[in-house]
Structure 1
Amino acid sequence: MHNKYNQLFLKGIFGLFLSIAIMGTGTNPLWAGEKEDMEAMQKALNQEILDKPFYPGDKAAVDAYLDQAIKKGVKPIETPPPGWAPGWTCNNLTYSIGAYRNCLHYYRYHGRYYPY
């Protein structure tokens, strides 16, 4: 009787280790050569995004918004957006339509770009 329980216990432990080993090998999504393929696909996607021109939305709507803001005397946000660098213009703010619009508002209000 004691021997029977030992066998069941050992079978249970063996099954547990076997299932852990199988699950451990199945969780790695990158197989041989797949890492290089993923890097190549990421580079291609990055280049595709960079090749597209910046589209700030409907320029007429942005101009109308800015004209209304200037007429009402609304002051623009005085702090430059994160990452603002010397020599930049509003066209460098391709990552955010809001930052682009705020930059144009600042430029029209003050007649210059953000200070450094």
Structure 2
Amino acid sequence: MARTTPRATTAPVGEPALDDTFSSTVRLRICAYLSGCDEADFKAVQEFCGLSQPNLSKNLTALAERGYVDIRKVASGRYTKTRLRLTATGQAALQSHVAALQDIVTTARAQQPTS
């Protein structure tokens, strides 16, 4: 049998790369929302994304494991609030992913025949 090696999933250094983390539109929406603020309340992100608490929690855990989102609990009276923040790593990954998508669109448009 022929031996195969896995394909690299990253672009050369300095070039934008698609990130498999954002193959989930939910995780992409979460990070996009968080990129527009210093930090956000769990409930605000939940409402923006239209998710149930368990679904948002599951996706936040995946993002936190990658180092893309910082999750912290803050005392608020008798309750605790969950505050979310996009990390520098998450911001860079999101920007690279969006740039790679834009490169795909630009390349595709350049390949179209002129009329």
Q: What TM-score, normalized by structure 1, do the two folds share?
A: 0.26
TM-score (norm 2): 0.27
Bigger relative contact order (CA 8 A; separation at least 6):
2
Higher-Rg member (1/2): 1
Bigger proportion of residues as strand = 2
